[in-house]
Amino acid sequence: MAGTIGQSRRIVNHRRAYMNQRRCRRRFEIDQRLEIEHSDKMIAFVSSSLSVLVVHSILPLIMVANGYNPGYSNLYGSKPFEISEHVVRLRIEAIKVELGKMQQAYQNMAQPDMTPRDQASYDFIIVGGGTAGAALASRLSDIAASILLIEAGDEETPFMDVPLEAINSEKGNTKEYLSEPTDRYCLSMTNRQCRVKKARVMGGSSVTNWMVATRGHRDDYDEWARMGNTGWSYDEVLPYFQKLEAVNIPNLQVDNAYRNKKGPMHISYAPFQTPLSIAFLRSMEDLGYPRVDYNGRDMVGFSRVQATMLDGSRISSNKAYLYSESRQNLFVSKNSIVKKVLINKKTKEATGVRFTKNEKVFTVYARKEVILCAGAIGSAQLLMLSGVGPTEDLKKLDIDVIQDLPVGYSLQDHVAFIGSTYVVKEPIGILFSDLDNLSYPYSADYYMHRKGPLTIPGGVEAIGFANVDDCYNSQALPNIEYLFFPLTIYNLRETMRDLGVNENLLFAFEDIKRNYTYSILTMLAKPGSRGRLRLKANDINVAPLIDPNYLATQEDIRILTKGVENAITFTKLSLLKQFGAELYQTPLPNCAQYTFNSPTYLHCAINHMTLGMGHYTGTCRMGPEKDYTAVVNPQLQVYGIEKLRVIDGSIMPVIPRGHLTLPTLMIAEKGADMIKEHWGYSVDLHR
The annotated binding site for FAD is made up of 201, 209-212, 338, 649
Alpha-carbon distance 4 to 369, whole Å? 44
Alpha-carbon distance 378 to 502, whole Å? 28
Phi, psi angles (nearest 5°) of residue 425:
-85, -20
Phi, psi angles (nearest 5°) of residue 2:
50, 45
Q: Strand 415-423 relative to strand 403-404: parallel, antiparallel, unpaired?
A: unpaired
Which of 518, 660, 687 has the alpha carbon at shortest distance from 220? Answer: 660
Burial grade of 172 (CB within 10 A; 0-12, 13-18, 19 or more): exposed
Residue 217 designated active-site? no
The two counts, helices (H) then strands (E), for the chain are 19, 26
Count of CB atoms situated within 10 Å of the CB of 262: 11
Phi, psi angles (nearest 5°) of residue 331:
-120, 130
From 266, 603, 608, 659, active-site residue = 659
Give the chain's length: 687
Alpha-carbon distance 608 to 591, whole Å? 8
From 38, 217, 615, 686, active-site residue = 615
Phi, psi angles (nearest 5°) of residue 368:
-110, -60
Q: How would DSSP label each residue in 450-467?
A: S-SGGGSGGG--EEEEE-
Burial grade of 402 (CB within 10 A; 0-12, 13-18, 19 or more): buried
Contacting residues for 677 by C-beta, under 8 A, at least 6 apart: 683
Alpha-carbon distance 547 to 533, whole Å? 6
Alpha-carbon distance 555 to 476, whole Å? 17
Half-sphere exposure of 381 (CA within 13 A, CB side): 24
DSSP E strand stretches across 179-307: 195-199, 245-247, 265-267, 301-304
CB 587 within 8 A of CB 508: no
Integer Rg of the chain from CA: 25
Burial grade of 180 (CB within 10 A; 0-12, 13-18, 19 or more): middle
Residue 86 designated active-site? no
Active site residues: 615, 659
